Structure 1
Amino acid sequence: MAGASEALFTQPLLLLGGAVIAAPIFRKLGLGTVLGYLAAGVVIGPVLHLIGGSGEILAVAELGVVLLLFIIGLELKPSRLWHMRRDIFGLGTAQVMLTGLALTGIALASGLLDWRAALVTGFGLALSSTAFALQLLEDYGDMNSRYGQRSFSILLFQDLAIVPLLAMVSVLGTPSGDGQQSAVIEVAIAVGAVIGMILAGRYLLTPLFQVIARTGAREVMIAAALFVVLGSAYLMQVAGLSMAMGAFLAGVMLAESSYRHELEADIEPFRGLLLALFFIAVGLSMELQVIVDNLALIAVTVPLLMAVKALVLYVICRVAGSPHRDALRICMLLPQGGEFGFVLFTTAAAVGVLSSGQSSLLISIVTLSMALTPLTALIGQKLLAREASEKEEIEEDFEGAGSDVLMVGFSRFGQIAAQILLASGRDVTILDDSPDRVRQASTFGFRIYFGDGTRLDMLRAAGIERAKIVAVCTHKKEITDKIVDLIRSEYPDVRLFVRSYDRVHSLELRARDVEYELRETFESGLLFGRRTLEGLGASEDEAYDIGEDIRRRDEERLKLQAQEGILAGRELMHKRPVKPEPLIKPKKPIHTVEPERDAPAA
């Protein structure tokens, strides 16, 4: 009992310590955090033997891949996924089929495998690593580039392909009649599970989060998010699909939900930590003895595998219309074996298609190809560094995060401002922390998301890094100041347009270097005064001129107060007590106003 209890603490400490030490070192060297995590795993496990039994750690760490796919699903609403269908089913199918057949032919030509083992080997090695590729895309900031989206489309089809490939292994490992019947049943169950997941996501998930959001308990929202992700992943695994595919479908079903950004921000810390653990676990699982015993074969096989996959990827991407730069990036990003190869080769060994030794050798080949991927991707980035100064971004259908304007707060003031922006055809990402307001606004066609604008992770999830202007329209002065201070400290170059509470608040905001501020009642007060003046018989032009003069003098006084303090206006009145300014069109310069005509200023 004492040994188990000690391992419960020492293993997490070793894993976390390895991540903390290796990741900064490798990032500083320009090799990326992924390679650092792999190196940490190799040192902790196969080299120093500080941790054994990497299979259990890898099983837990795969939740990082699951959470990663969920977050990616949140970025892809169904209509956008449909728009990507040609890349998913065109490029994806071509990559799996052509690479699988080419590698099968090479395996047969080697004379080391029979046709069944060669077929499983070829198509198992045709799959790439979703976790490695997407993490590298995220590190480079290229997830939303055109080549990043095409890479993701290929990876998504590979995740779908695991179902027929497992069915193929089942057929090859059992008598023909039983195998065919079993394969048909497995495919039918998988299709039914996908349909059921889509229906549940459409009719159950959003109402569930609406109920939970009303409680106001943040920990319950986090628990609900993890429950949905892990529950959908488990159901898909039971149905024969990958856990990652289940989480991805759940994310897609919630992509149009108002709670999308809140979910993304809640899941992100777990995703990052578990994904790092996954890469460390891959390093832990590397069997150095198998590599030493088959060093010559592996030294030939790993480069050959990566070269064949890269060549096929480059050719099909060029045929599909990708420019040379994008095709080269894709082929340098996806030449490795994938984590689903572990599942396929282990299953093949269990049904007798592969021997245990062959399975271990193939898993070692996949692991080494993964370890080399950050280097190949880095080489691709370096080769194209001079041409990559301007990165092509996908703007079409990039709803939510990525809009020109990020609006925080959607009370009456924000609603009016948003109508003008939307009427002009601009895209606006709107964040508000009131579940009732989110629900009500969505019924009028506003694209509004549930989230707390005082949280940095929420602002990032909502696309602040891509927003041209951040409009802070919250109605509480304290909340507004907190958001402005947070953005100014983390994103000092962001253009800030802010709703002000009163004159003093306007001066405080100008001191914070906001680009534009407006008192929430100033414009409405001016308009009301103009209309009242017209009601008393003044002409529309006269009332307008008076209003504009008031606006001009107010701005002059604000600038002076911003420089010299709130009492600076006294000097303008020749040291007399501060008097309001006239409400009639002035016939004299502003400094010669008669005090007896003064009235309260806005």
Structure 2
Amino acid sequence: MAGEVVAHAAEAAHHGVDLVPVVALLAAGAIAVPIFRRIGLGSVLGYLAAGLLLGPSGTGLISDPASVLAAAELGVVLFLFIIGLEMEPSRLWALRKQIFGLGIIQVATCGALLTGIGVLLGFAPVVAFVFGMGFVLTSTAIVMQILGERGEMSTEGGQKMVSILLLEDLAIVPLLAVVSLLAPSTDDVSMLTRLVSLGIAVGAILLLIFLGRRIMNPFFSLLAQARVREVMTAAALLVVLGAALLFQVSGLSMAMGAFLAGVLLSTSAFKHQLEADVEPFRGLLLGLFFLAVGMSLDLAVVVDSWQIIALSVVAYMLVKAAAIYVIARLMRSGHGEALERAVLMGQGGEFAFVLYTTAAASGLIDAPTNAIFTATVIISMVLTPFTIIGMRYLMPRAVESMDGVEPADDLSAKVLIIGFGRFGQIVSQPLLALHHTVSIIDNDTDMIRAAAQIGFKVYYGDGTRLDILRAAGAATADLILVCTDKREQTTRIVELLRDEFPLARVMARAFDRSHGIELMRHGVDFQIRETFESALQFGSEAVTLLGATDEEAAEVLEGVRGRDRQRFERQLAGEDWRNLSQLLISNAQDQAREGGVSVSEESAEAAASQSARPAQTS
């Protein structure tokens, strides 16, 4: 069946554009990725599985994955350009110790260990060196994608991984040079030739720096005056691909050229425009890259050489992960951070394919060996999402530091505030200004330490626990203010207070209308929706800017408050929202008439029905 589809596609190609592979790739990504993300396996594994299904080892819809992979490498190029846009030169300089310190230590240590493993597996030392150093080069695409999805790109641990990845991407250049030196050749390469190659590489870097500093900003300024969006998009792609091409013809890495171009434009006024223009292409091509990697896995090679491949995958991933973990711990990273780095960076990467292909072309390794090495790297990439799932069970539970934090114990004050976030901080100010005695508890240790720096004494305590409420003085407080920001947490605290301390007056912060009704039914003396008053003030400023006087704005605000209060009281009494329709229609029409606007009964009824529903979040 698959053969018939391919034959049909080949026939269609003679009469026009062959859309079968294009549609197949789009469909595979659109279907597989959401499914894999839904079941918790991540988008990367979804792309890899879809690629395996489409490739020669699956249905055979894509018969030449190498050509797809060559085009899809532009996804990695665009990805590194966007990373470069976020790495301003000052920020990159701040990471220099991690890039050239931690990065070099990890690459050198892992390279030496993996070369030794290759020798133990029976490969010649030179071949083992190529195998090991290729596996050292972690997949930038996979790690960056996972860090981005988890929002950890800017964390301290994420920054260290990004720094190491940048060093590994730089390392491909000297590694390719070493492969050329080790390659058996009948022609003697003169020192002059090597110096010329080095000079060309340095010249390409200097040329790109000059263009980035002197030419690119005026170029984009000129194009911006045309006010044509597609021209700016074309210019953005021209810069990225032009930088990649410049580095490629100079014997350097395309991805590093794009990254350097991004760094040079990171302080440009057009930074955000460039990122917005490139991002759609980056997402599509990076997905295509993972699809192509999945297609490139030759199951026939895996079956024929499954023993050496299985042994290589297990040995290389375990040794590399162990080395990364030990290095991280020696560099004073915590157990959790070191474990996460070891698991995320334990696989081989896309630059290994470049190194192995170059080694095969130069005669260092033969075609079967290249296939074994490539399959080992691809399988390690496929296994990474599964190892991440396993890591969750090994990660230590986060333990909050109690340094500088005092637990609530035998407090007694006129007012007890539970929760000291943005809401609670503002609430406390008028109380303190009138010299009321106030006790404050919260369960966020970082916030408690931050509050101490600005003169607030906040005690550690979880308000959902009865023993903590007793220790915080809830039994003797005249007034208790529940200012927590989670709906369920607030409700639980109010329930405890009403059951155990019925004489205390309680005020609570409500999440929305329905939560406010729920709190009132639990017996609080006062509740307010967290955004209600600020939204009213915002609306007041809006009508004032549109020409209303201060008196008109105040009158409108009071009208809105009154109607909202009336609606709230009726809903609190249990009246069904449908029975409020006529009242609210009349209110809406009265309000419109006050403003000199004519509103039909149908429009008023639609507005009234929406505003009466208890499930709304206003």
TM superposition score normalised by structure 1:
0.66
SS in 2 for 1:79: helix
Matched, 1:276 2:274: no
Which residue of the partner structure matches residue 150 of structure 1? Answer: 160
Q: Structure 2 stretches of 5 or more lacking a match?
A: 1-9, 402-421, 423-530, 564-587, 596-618
Which residue of the partner structure matches residue 538 of structure 2? Answer: 516
Matched, 1:313 2:329: no
CA distance in 2, matches of 1:263, 1:388: 41
CA distance in 1, matches of 2:31, 2:279: 21
Which residue of the partner structure matches residue 214 of structure 1? Answer: 225
Matched, 1:190 2:201: yes
* Structure 1 pair 569–265 and aligned structure 2 pair: CA distance change class (3 A): closer
Contact in 2 for aligned 1:72/1:251 (Cα 8 Å): yes
Contact in 2 for aligned 1:170/1:182 (Cα 8 Å): no
Contact in 2 for aligned 1:127/1:340 (Cα 8 Å): yes
1:332-481 mapped onto 2 (5 Å cutoff): 332-384=343-395, 386-387=397-398
Which residue of the partner structure matches residue 418 of structure 1? Answer: none
Which residue of the partner structure matches residue 558 of structure 2? Answer: 560
Amino acid at match of 2:147: L
Contact in 1 for aligned 2:139/2:347 (Cα 8 Å): yes
Measured against aligned partners, the alpha-carbon deviations of 1:316-344 in whole angstroms (never above 9, x if no partner) come to 22222322211111111011111111011
Matched, 1:51 2:62: yes
CA distance in 2, matches of 1:243, 1:370: 21
Contact in 1 for aligned 2:325/2:338 (Cα 8 Å): yes
307-316 or 179-188: which moved more? Answer: 179-188
Which residue of the partner structure matches residue 251 of structure 2? Answer: 240
Pairing partner for 2:128 from 96, 104, 118: 118
* Structure 1 pair 366–570 and aligned structure 2 pair: CA distance change class (3 A): closer
Amino acid at match of 1:268: E
Contact in 2 for aligned 1:74/1:254 (Cα 8 Å): yes
* Structure 1 pair 221–91 and aligned structure 2 pair: CA distance change class (3 A): same
SS in 2 for 1:321: coil
CA distance in 1, matches of 2:552, 2:197: 74
- Deviation, 1:14, is 0.8
Pairing partner for 2:269 from 252, 258, 266: 258
Pairing partner for 1:17 from 6, 27, 45: 27
CA distance in 1, matches of 2:534, 2:51: 46
- Deviation, 1:2, is 4.0
- Deviation, 1:512, is 11
CA distance in 2, matches of 1:63, 1:137: 20
CA distance in 2, matches of 1:510, 1:345: 63
Measured against aligned partners, the alpha-carbon deviations of 1:519-563 in whole angstroms (never above 9, x if no partner) come to 58969x99xxxxxxxxxxxxxxxxxxxxxxx96x56532412545
Aligned residues: 430
CA distance in 1, matches of 2:13, 2:244: 29
Contact in 2 for aligned 1:163/1:187 (Cα 8 Å): no
378-387 or 191-200: which moved more? Answer: 378-387
Which residue of the partner structure matches residue 93 of structure 1? Answer: 104
Which residue of the partner structure matches residue 132 of structure 1? Answer: 142
CA distance in 1, matches of 2:198, 2:83: 25
Contact in 1 for aligned 2:540/2:557 (Cα 8 Å): no
CA distance in 2, matches of 1:556, 1:72: 49
CA distance in 1, matches of 2:131, 2:139: 16
Matched, 1:170 2:192: no
CA distance in 1, matches of 2:12, 2:543: 68
Amino acid at match of 2:73: E
CA distance in 1, matches of 2:180, 2:290: 29
CA distance in 2, matches of 1:242, 1:172: 20
- Deviation, 1:566, is 11
- Deviation, 1:514, is 7.4
Amino acid at match of 2:250: A
Amino acid at match of 2:557: K
Which residue of the partner structure matches residue 445 of structure 1? Answer: none
CA distance in 2, matches of 1:32, 1:269: 20
Contact in 2 for aligned 1:349/1:359 (Cα 8 Å): yes
Amino acid at match of 1:225: A
- Deviation, 1:282, is 0.3
Which residue of the partner structure matches residue 8 of structure 1? Answer: 18
Contact in 2 for aligned 1:167/1:183 (Cα 8 Å): no
Contact in 1 for aligned 2:180/2:362 (Cα 8 Å): yes
1:468-547 mapped onto 2 (5 Å cutoff): 513=535, 516=538, 519=541
Contact in 2 for aligned 1:332/1:380 (Cα 8 Å): yes
CA distance in 2, matches of 1:388, 1:244: 39
Contact in 2 for aligned 1:91/1:154 (Cα 8 Å): yes
Measured against aligned partners, the alpha-carbon deviations of 1:139-161 in whole angstroms (never above 9, x if no partner) come to 21211111111111111001101
CA distance in 1, matches of 2:218, 2:204: 21
CA distance in 2, matches of 1:568, 1:236: 67
Amino acid at match of 1:146: E
- Deviation, 1:52, is 0.6
CA distance in 2, matches of 1:571, 1:7: 64
* Structure 1 pair 184–337 and aligned structure 2 pair: CA distance change class (3 A): farther
Measured against aligned partners, the alpha-carbon deviations of 1:234-267 in whole angstroms (never above 9, x if no partner) come to 1111111111111111111111111111111111
CA distance in 2, matches of 1:560, 1:516: 14
1:197-208 mapped onto 2 (5 Å cutoff): 197-208=208-219
- Deviation, 1:297, is 1.1
- Deviation, 1:21, is 1.4
- Deviation, 1:3, is 4.2
Amino acid at match of 1:254: L
Which residue of the partner structure matches residue 504 of structure 1? Answer: none
- Deviation, 1:131, is 0.7
* Structure 1 pair 514–70 and aligned structure 2 pair: CA distance change class (3 A): farther
555-564 or 13-22: which moved more? Answer: 555-564
- Deviation, 1:92, is 1.0
Matched, 1:224 2:235: yes
SS in 2 for 1:8: coil
- Deviation, 1:233, is 0.8
Contact in 2 for aligned 1:561/1:567 (Cα 8 Å): no
- Deviation, 1:289, is 0.9
* Structure 1 pair 511–90 and aligned structure 2 pair: CA distance change class (3 A): same
Contact in 1 for aligned 2:544/2:553 (Cα 8 Å): no
* Structure 1 pair 517–34 and aligned structure 2 pair: CA distance change class (3 A): same
* Structure 1 pair 127–570 and aligned structure 2 pair: CA distance change class (3 A): closer
Q: Report which of the two structures shows the higher radius of gyration computed on alpha carbons.
A: 2
Contact in 2 for aligned 1:88/1:156 (Cα 8 Å): yes
CA distance in 2, matches of 1:156, 1:365: 23
Which residue of the partner structure matches residue 538 of structure 1? Answer: none
Contact in 1 for aligned 2:336/2:396 (Cα 8 Å): no
SS in 2 for 1:41: helix
Matched, 1:267 2:278: yes
- Deviation, 1:118, is 1.9
Q: Structure 1 stretches of 5 or more lacking a match?
A: 391-403, 405-508, 527-549, 573-602
Amino acid at match of 1:516: F
Amino acid at match of 2:35: I
- Deviation, 1:355, is 1.2
* Structure 1 pair 306–389 and aligned structure 2 pair: CA distance change class (3 A): farther
- Deviation, 1:179, is 6.8
- Deviation, 1:86, is 0.7
Measured against aligned partners, the alpha-carbon deviations of 1:400-445 in whole angstroms (never above 9, x if no partner) come to xxxx9xxxxxxxxxxxxxxxxxxxxxxxxxxxxxxxxxxxxxxxxx
CA distance in 2, matches of 1:228, 1:211: 15
